[in-house]
């Protein structure tokens, strides 16, 4: 099972990558990194879940900013 610390590190890493790299490339980089490193399926799923949550959270915050 993936612990909370791992999820926090994944979340922060994805946020940092998003700041430094255009958004369309982030997904590709994460997919390539996951395929290049031999990890268990649970960690791969955690990476994808965190990525989706981060993407949706950013979109919601952007919509709120437009409304305010």
What's the whole-model pTM score?
Answer: 0.47
Per-residue model confidence as pLDDT tens digits over 26-60:
777 777 776 776 667 777 777 778 778 878 888 88
With a cut of 70, say whether residue 4 has pLDDT above it: yes
Domain count, the chain: 1
* C-alpha to C-alpha distance for 49 and 56, rounded to whole angstroms: 11
- Domain containing 49 equals 4-67
pLDDT band at 63 (very low <50, low <70, confident <90, very high): confident
Average pLDDT over the chain, rounded to an integer: 77
Query: Quick one: 47 exposed, middle or buried, by C-beta within 10 A (0-12, 13-18, 19+)?
Result: buried
Residue 37 CA: distances (Å) to CA of 32, 40, 44, 53, 66: 9, 10, 10, 22, 39
H helix and E strand count, the chain: 3, 0
């Amino acid at each position: 099972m993936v612990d909370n610390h791992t999820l926090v590190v994944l979340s922060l890493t994805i946020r940092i990558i998003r700041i430094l790299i255009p958004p369309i490339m982030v997904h590709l980089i994460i997919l390539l990194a996951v395929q290049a490193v031999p990890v268990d399926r649970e960690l791969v799923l955690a990476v994808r879940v965190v990525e989706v949550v981060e993407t949706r959270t950013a979109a919601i915050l952007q919509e709120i900013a437009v409304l305010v």
